[in-house]
Amino acid sequence: MSTKPLVQDEPGTGFTLESLQIGGHPILQPFLRRLGLRRFFEDALGRLDKRLALSPVDAALVLVRNFALSREPLYGVPEWAGHFVPEQMEMDSRMVNLLNDDRLGRTLDRFFLADLRTLTTRIVVHMVGEFGLDLSRAHNDSTTITFSGAYRQTLPRADGRRTLRAAHGHNKDHRPDLKQLLWTLTVAGDGAVPVHHNVYDGNVTDDRTHIQTWQTLREIVGSARFLYVADSKLCTREQMAHIVGAGGHFLTVLPRTRKEDAHFRSRLAQQPAAWELIWERPPLRRKHDSAERFEVASLPQASSEGYRVVWFRSSEKWKRDERVRQDCIDAARFQIQGLAERAGRRELKTREQVSAAAKEILERTGAGPFLREEIKEHSRYVHRQAGPGRHGKNTPYVRDTTVVYEPVVTPDPDRIREAAATDGIFPLITNVGVEVMGPLELLQTYKYQSFIEKRHEQLKTAAEVAPVNFKTAERIEAFLFLYFVAVLVHALIERQARAAMQARKLGSIPLYPEGRKCSAPTADKILALFEPLRRHRLLRSRELVQTFHDDLSDIQRLVLDLLDIPELHYGQAPR
């Protein structure tokens, strides 16, 4: 949260001290300017009414700054902006006072009416040239953005434009009770900088988005000469054929539903493949863990369409597959034991009822292929009083015999051994020839997908895109477009900081609390470092007497140097 602006009057002196935040605005400004956002926004919105007290372009830029620095709801943005030096936001105090949630909402309405896809393309094409971005690889992935509120079906607009429809679907935030939209993001292989985004109705599946995304990327790149990398939803005959037919290249994972996958796994169960070690990667989390080893099978294989398939084996995935299988078996055996204790009661009296309940457990836990199910029959004896009345020492008892069916499961060693033979393996499919990209380069290229997952994480944590709650669906599309711009700025800040560290051979900088080292600084950590900085003005009878600023720390000066931002922007002469 921003610190409130401070204005103090010194009684009897006539002096007033005004303190306003500077924060991360000087960090954002060079990137916003180099992206040419003001010019592109003005072109997209067309001629504006000169009677407007505050231009929607200025209002939109305030929203981009807010999304990048400190996510506030629309009604909280005016107060947030009032905490900062207006000049740092390319505004004056009059313009800041004009900000309100109604004006910001109408700004989103104006952007909805603009051609946002063309605007996005123009910004990205300009960014590629301005920042020298390498677009030889494009990585695509999707996530869901969860919405609060009813979001009922909207009526058709008079202008014929279609609005997004929030709907229930496969929610990746694990909130199936809430509606969602599908957000797709494509980043470059150079710094994981976003180069394309799109938003779809909440019930759209990933396998219906790739052709449209690839077509847009071809317009941005200017040709089909780039590698398109995506998850297994890309692996459909139609989508791969579209890319190949247009002269493009793709790389994705072969899904488990394909016959080629089943054929290779059954072959491994009968005859082990020859694996060759091609890469040892240091542990990503705990330093004391062993290095992750990647192997490639020497067995060449092609898909039914004739595309190249390469099989890899990961030591970490090997351990994970083994652990998941054992957890499934343990969970199933524990639940079957509980089922056996309830056998003979209520809905578990017949063999068919018990067998159906046991099969449901095996299917739900995923342990069915590894456990043998058997229903054992035995007698259960119950003694009861032969007649009515109070029991005594001469009361006769009779023994009732009931047949009870109990489920018993035992491990199937052959099936477990067959499954263990395929632990840790995964196939990649591509139309790139081996003479262009060897197995190691294919593997490392696909592993770059984790960076786009990090962008999605930043969208929901650092930028706090959710929860979203608007009264009209029209504003959602413009809102998410401005969020895309904010994430884009974050990525450019990270790219420049890390490139400067690499050029200076700095393995890390003390960016974390207590001076702990950070080897890969993120934009939110960089911007948070400058959040407390203020500009102070001493006034007397509304006349400026003196201006002074908070001092920069050594780490703040280092970060500014890495980002090539003059310390003068924080009111300090360089040392």
Residues 22-75 have pLDDT tens digits of: 999 999 999 999 999 999 999 999 877 777 788 999 999 999 999 999 878 888
pTM: 0.86
What confidence score (pLDDT) does residue 154 get?
62
* Sheet strands (E) in 66-164: 137-147
Read off the pLDDT of residues 401-427 as tens digits, 9 standing for 90 and up. Answer: 788 888 999 999 999 999 999 999 999
Residues 6+ away with beta carbon under 8 Å from 114: 44, 45, 46
> For all residues of the chain together, what is the average pLDDT?
87
Residues of the chain with pLDDT under 70: 1-13, 148-160, 166, 172-174, 285, 460-469, 471, 573-575
φ, ψ (nearest 5 deg) of residue 266? -65, -35
> H or E stretch including 47?
none
What confidence score (pLDDT) does residue 149 get?
62
Strands 397-411 and 308-314: unpaired
Report the DSSP beta bridge partners of residue 188.
138
> H or E stretch including 533?
none
What confidence score (pLDDT) does residue 62 get?
95
Tell me if 358 sits within 8 A of 351, measured CB to CB.
Answer: no
Read off the pLDDT of residues 532-554 as tens digits, 9 standing for 90 and up. Answer: 999 998 888 778 888 889 999 99
Alpha-carbon 61 to chain mean position: 24
φ, ψ (nearest 5 deg) of residue 126? -65, -40
Name the CATH superfamily housing domain 123-279+302-315+426-471: Transposase Inhibitor Protein From Tn5; Chain A, domain 1 (3.90.350.10)
φ, ψ (nearest 5 deg) of residue 271? -145, 115
Q: Where are the domains of the chain?
A: 6-114+530-570, 123-279+302-315+426-471, 321-420
Tell me if 367 sits within 8 A of 327, measured CB to CB.
Answer: no
What confidence score (pLDDT) does residue 443 get?
96
In whole angstroms, give the CA distance from residue 69 to residue 462: 9
What confidence score (pLDDT) does residue 574 get?
61
In whole angstroms, give the CA distance from residue 239 to residue 128: 26
- Residues 14-47: b if buried by 16+ CB within 10 A, e if exposed: eebebbbbbbbbbbbbbbbeebebbebbeebbee
Report the DSSP beta bridge partners of residue 296.
276, 312
> H or E stretch including 496?
helix 474-503
What confidence score (pLDDT) does residue 2 get?
43
Within 10 Å of residue 566's Cβ, how many Cβ atoms? 13
Q: How long, in residues, is the chain?
A: 575
In whole angstroms, give the CA distance from residue 574 to residue 567: 6
Token duo for residue 439: 């197995």
